[in-house]
Amino acid sequence: MMRTSEQRTGIWRLSLEQIEATVANHLGNGRVQGNRAAPCLSRQVSMYLAKNVAGWSTTRIGRFYNGRHHTTVLHAIEKIERLRQTDESVDALVEVLTAELSPQMEGRFTERFEPGWTAALIEAVAGRVLKEIRRPISGKSEGPSVMAQREGGIAQ
């Protein structure tokens, strides 16, 4: 039996707007110009989910995010993959956002827990991630790669 793109195991057909809205609810809008840390993280998480959860092409994702090049999308995906391996809060954030986007869990994910628990968990994890990004290291200016630098032992 031939599978259509909607039937692929573990991949759901979600619109880029749905993904961006879900991530933006917790991390802020990622569809803005510039490279400030919080919007960058939001955009990178959204790009990661768009590729790995919804199966969108890097070219289409880049177009959605203000015409960014597909290699920028690849960089974002690789960065989130690295952060997931080195920072358990980023990994937890991505897992919870993935569960929130899952059509199989729609309604059931939030029913398993007390009302507001899912949003509270995402807010707590997102707050920690954003706090880590904004924390200065060794007198250097802040950037979106701070967490990766800290986790790699460059600064504490």
What pLDDT is attached to residue 60? 95
Query: What are the residues whose beta carbons fall under 8 Å from the beta carbon of 130, sequence distance 6 or more?
Result: 27, 37, 38, 41
CB burial readout 84-95, b (16+ within 10 A) else e? beebebbebbbe
Q: Which domains does the chain have, with CATH numbers?
A: 12-136 (1.10.1750.10)
Per-residue model confidence as pLDDT tens for the chain (156 residues) = 343 333 333 456 789 999 999 999 888 898 888 888 888 899 999 999 999 999 999 999 999 998 999 999 999 999 999 999 998 888 988 998 998 887 665 544 444 445 555 566 667 667 777 666 666 655 444 444 444 444 444 333
Q: Which of 117, 113, 115, 135 is nearest to 125 (CA)?
A: 117
Provide the whole-model pTM: 0.67
What pLDDT is attached to residue 101? 87
